[in-house]
Chains A and B, each alone.
Chain A
Amino acid sequence: MLLNDYLKRQISEYADDVLDLESTRQVSDFIESNPEAEAYFRRLQALRRLTFSHLGREEEDSTLEIRMMNALRLRSYDRTWWERFFERRILSPRAALATAFAVFLLVMFLFAWAETPVSHFLTATRAEVEQLREETTTSLSERGGELTESLIELITPPSDENGTKDQVGCILRERTNAV
């Protein structure tokens, strides 16, 4: 009988001792009664022992942490100043927190210090802009009136009576105002 995937999985978990009591008993009985299952289990255990004894118990690399720390330091020096700043922030968050707080205080101080002059400047600029706008509006109105009058003079024939001239003037003024 060939072992199917389910049986191999049961044997695998039996080898790791992660089955419940009943399943453990059943698998154990099965292994004892089935030569193929027994052979598979013994091969698996032998291979596990051999692998662990050869690969799982290597001598500790005593220089590993020194090499890693040096490599990481060098790596941070290869970076630009802003990247280093963030590296330092990660390696030393307390210093970074203090720096961030100091920068925040500086910004707040500058803001408080500059608030009055800036407000004053903005108010004065706004008043000036308003004044310029009013002057421009008045000047444009006056200029528009003058142009209208000139136009009336131009398009009305000199021989016409005053009535015609007044009618043309009214129409033009209405159009001008409408525009």
Chain B
Amino acid sequence: MSCTRRDLIKNACKGAAVASLPLSALKMLSPAEVKASVGDDKTRWVFLVDIQKCVGCGFCVKACKNENEIPLNAPVTRTWVERYVVTKDGKSHIDTPKGGRDGYTDGKIHGEEINPDEITKAFFVPKLCNQCEKPACVQVCPVGATYQTRDGVVLVDQSWCIGCGYCIMACPYGVRFFHPEHHVADKCTFCYHRITKGMKTACVDACPFGARQVGNLKDHDDPVTQTIMNQRVGILKDEYGTKPQVYYIGLDERVR
């Protein structure tokens, strides 16, 4: 095999170029290493709402606003309680005055008194961020300011959000809003600062009736997981394919 001077120099240059590549660019990770870098796979926060137990007191909304510094009188809230009253003529009367912040203290819906004899069913539905497995709001963020944590909670990076509002439009559940003081997108965090300290969310603590519960889906001894696995539970807007992680007991088809 002959090797001219030209070939030698060429090959030497190629060799130097390859050698100068950083080692990390060529490193192969084992599946275990990848898993470790992905992090905590022992936790998946989920929520369970028992519609039958809710009496519409609205303490959850009030507590959420105070806990998470959402201006009390601004027309925005991270969680809210809806009232559904179905009458014999098949109509649904739905309202959520101030998100249910002050509770439901009279029977008027949009100023209209409903005859109790006409009511076929009536109930309250607490709502909050569904912390979807496939969050549409995260997909649309153009700057990477909203994301899913390793334990399944969707958060907003307030220092990085540019306030474009795409995520607010993308959420099928309408849980996102524009924070009137920080001027960024805001949403329920499952009280991330509380659940990561072993506490319950502010709304769960505030609920006197146990209508709201938070739990870890990957802990099979967790009572919330037990209920979700063993009982009949529903989710909202399954057809959107976002795989919501707030489960409801006693859900009605009229609830959207």
Partners in one complex: no
